[in-house]
Amino acid sequence: MKHFLDIHETSPSDLRGIIDNAAAMKTARADRPRGALDDDQPLQGHMVALIFEKPSTRTRVSFDVGVRQLGGQTMVLSGKDMQLGHGETIADTARVLSRYVDLIMIRTFEEQTLLEMAEYATVPVINGLTDRTHPCQIMADIMTFEEHNGPIKGKKVVWSGDGNNVFASFAHAAKQFDFELVFTGPPPLDPDPALADLFTIERDPNIAVQGADLVVTDTWVSMHDPQSARERRHNQLRGYQVNDTLMAQAKPDALFMHCLPAHRDDEVTSSVMDGPHSVIWDEAENRMHAQKAIMRYCLGK
Ligand code: CP
Ligand code: NVA
């Protein structure tokens, strides 16, 4: 049994195996109806709990559909409707759920909640986003990059905007997959200093994107950020919007990614989202393929 808690806690060879398996499963399903089961049914007889303490569209649906394609069943649980949201400890919740289900995916606030769930669960636990990281997203992003432009090793990835949880998982991935990562954003919104060895900072977005193979951004206000910070963050981040002028300075075949949901014409213009560099819909689809491979890895199947 293996957990999937963070990219830097999974070995490069295991990460590569997951990406390759995800790509193979995607190819095997090409041209089949969305609802069709996979030929391989490794989750048959398995029950997966999907716990959400924050909103979700992609994570919820992609895990749910992915489990079903692999022959398993799911139970989608909202944190506030569980005793977990009313005082029961995470450890006790983990022990109880482990008697009913074969795998737990949790989206939560503090990283400590995820870590405690993993410590006390006797079944694998998958990180479906915390305030600090979003590893499943970045596995889908690596898969998407390689599907379009080949191996990511040695490539230049530029993140423009807030140094948030999605950025942190990109930073972990930069080391494990051996690519260059440049952060461009305002100093107050710099990433966690603990990640400093994993990327470089260039304050001028126009300089940062030169020679970029991939340009990435994310919302300026994450789910864990106070709404009261909205206006200040918008003012700080306005100069880091990904627009046509910025994309034009990246490599001609550069890709644009965003984990979504996007705020059109804030962090990215509609012209970039819907333009020739954008691979955001493939990126969203690949969440499902990547997570199917992550679940197989966790269950040793
Ligand atoms: N990218 C992502 O995790 O989207 P959701 O919040 O819709 O799950
Ligand atoms: N950084 C965003 C990602 C959403 C998928 C958030 O945490 O709200």
* Residues with a known catalytic role: 107, 134, 137, 218, 259, 287
- Spatial separation of the C-alpha atoms in residues 173 and 222, rounded to whole Å: 21
0.85 surpassed by pTM = yes
Ligand 2 touching residue 82 (CB < 6 A) = no
Mean pLDDT value of segment 94-113: 98
Rounded to the nearest angstrom, the distance between the alpha carbon of 161 and the centre of ligand 2 is 13
Residue 36 burial (CB < 10 Å; 0-12/13-18/19+)?
exposed
Tell me which DSSP letter residue 4 carries: B
Residue type, 188: P
| Predicted confidence (pLDDT) per residue in 218-273, tens digit | 999 999 999 999 999 999 999 999 999 999 999 999 999 999 999 999 999 999 99
Q: Which atom of ligand 2 is nearest to the CA of 162?
A: 1
| Predicted confidence (pLDDT) per residue in 273-300, tens digit | 999 999 999 999 999 999 999 999 999 9
- Structure tokens that stand for 193 in this block: 């200093």
Residue 277 burial (CB < 10 Å; 0-12/13-18/19+)?
buried
Q: What is the DSSP string of 225-269?
A: S-GGGHHHHHHHHGGG-B-HHHHTTS-TT-EEEE-S---BTTTB-
Mutate to test the pocket of ligand 2, among 60, 129, 267 (most ligand atoms within 8 A of CB): 129
| Predicted confidence (pLDDT) per residue in 145-203, tens digit | 999 999 999 999 999 999 999 999 999 999 999 999 999 999 999 999 999 999 999 99
Mean pLDDT across the chain, nearest whole number? 97
Rounded to the nearest angstrom, the distance between the alpha carbon of 107 and the centre of ligand 1 is 10
Ligand 1 touching residue 59 (CB < 6 A) = yes
* Side-chain half-sphere CA neighbours of 177 within 13 A: 29
Ligand 2 touching residue 278 (CB < 6 A) = no
* CA quadruple 269, 273, 227, 115: dihedral sign: negative
Band the pLDDT of 301: cuts 50, 70, 90: very high
Ligand 2 touching residue 222 (CB < 6 A) = yes
Rounded to the nearest angstrom, the distance between the alpha carbon of 261 and the centre of ligand 2 is 8
Residue 252 burial (CB < 10 Å; 0-12/13-18/19+)?
exposed
Q: Which ligand is nearest to the CA of 137?
A: 1
Among 172, 177, 194, 162, smallest CA distance to 4 is for 172
The two beta strands, 200-201 and 125-127, are unpaired
* pLDDT for residue 172: 98
Ligand 2 touching residue 164 (CB < 6 A) = yes
Of 31-35, 76-80, 121-125, 136-140, the one with minimum mean pLDDT is 31-35
* pLDDT for residue 85: 87
Share of the chain above pLDDT 90, in %: 98
- Structure tokens that stand for 236 in this block: 């700080």
Which residues, listed in sequence order, are joined to residue 256 by a DSSP beta bridge? 215, 278
| Predicted confidence (pLDDT) per residue in 21-70, tens digit | 999 999 999 999 988 999 999 999 999 999 999 999 999 999 999 999 99
